Structure 1
Amino acid sequence: MDEPILQPGQRLARGVCRLLRSHNFATLDEVTPRPGLRVDVMALGAKGEIWVVECKSSRADYTSDRKWEGYLEWCDRFFWAVPPEFPTEILPPDHGLIVADDFFGEIVTMAPAHPLTGPRRKAVTLKFARMAALRHHALRDPRP
């Protein structure tokens, strides 16, 4: 079976997810915490911590997207993920940085912690769990 053709941001997200899995996080890509926002990667840690990673494959990709600040209220830590050749000096300095490729990545700068409130954490965790379960079900039974 042929592997699907992935866009640059999707390949970057795959490397990020592999990295986060090696740190004992469960990951989902393309999570919608609320209408109008689509997070590239959301990760749930063993202690319930929630990380959001925004993948930017190029300068043009970064400069064309200004929704990322809306993601901050949905996570304990926020990271940028970029390929090795990305000009990291254009990124806001007060967030985490992951450098990744199609296959893996490295946390270059740990994001500062901004813990979610209890009710927000519960809502995000439930959304994450339901989305994961629904995606799993769709793989096993693709008929609606």
Structure 2
Amino acid sequence: MESLLDALQPGQRLARGVSRLLRTLDFAPLPEFVPSPGLRVDVAGLGPRGEIWVVECKSSRADFVSDLKWGGYLEWCDRFFWAVDSEFPAELLPGDAGLILADAWDAEIVRWPEESVLPGARRRALTRRFARTAAGRLALLADPGPGLAGR
């Protein structure tokens, strides 16, 4: 029988390790978060002081090269990180972003990005969207019945 971990795609395995790291840093991780229509980040983290981090997980060179939207994520976070495994050619990644080495079990920040403080109105809107997304997912786990599908 296949385990849940075996069923995860490579990027999902990275996101799992990143989420574990974020929890150790007192961040609430939220995978597959949509900060704005047309954008979907692999993992968003909401910190204890309201800071918002975005982590994009890249499992291969082809995965990175085909991602044309990542530059649009920068205006939706205080810090932006790439998360890759130890086999990824890290020299491909822009040097001004943060870098996290990850696997399905853990992750480590190896390069910190500069902080870019979000405007207050955008932070409030993102925090509200983050909370509603997380609460909606929790509600679906508790009761996947009618009226909640598609949220």
**TM-score calculated relative to the size of structure 1:** 0.97
Q: Which residue matches 1:141?
A: 143
How many angstroms does 1:22 deviate by? 0.6
Match among 1, 15, 21 for residue 19 of structure 1: 21
Match in the other structure for 1:114? 116
Q: Report what 1:67 is aligned to.
A: 69
SS in 2 for 1:34: coil
For structure 1, list consecutive stretches of 5 or more residues without a partner in the other structure. none
Q: Where does structure 2 lack aligned partners over 5 or more consecutive residues?
A: 147-151
Match of 2:102 in 1: 100
Please give the secondary structure, in 2, of the residue aligned with 1:107: strand
Distance in structure 2 (CA, Å) of the matches to 1:124 and 1:111: 20
Matching residue's letter, 2:23: R
Aligned-residue RMSD, C-alpha = 1.1
- Identity, % of aligned pairs? 64
For 2:4, the equivalent position in structure 1 comes to 3
Runs of 4 or more consecutive aligned structure 1 residues displaced over 3 Å after TM superposition = none
Select the residue among 61, 81, 84 that pairs with 1:82.
Answer: 84
- For 1:116, the aligned partner's letter is L
Q: CA deviation at 1:3?
A: 2.1
Q: Match for 2:47 among 27, 45, 48?
A: 45
Please state whether the residue corresponding to 2:36 is helix, strand or coil: coil
Give the number of aligned pairs.
Answer: 144
SS at match of 2:4: coil
**Alpha-carbon distance in structure 1 between the residues aligned to 2:109 and 2:145:** 39
Q: Which amino acid aligns with 1:120?
A: R
Distance in 1, Cα, partners of 2:137 & 2:23: 18
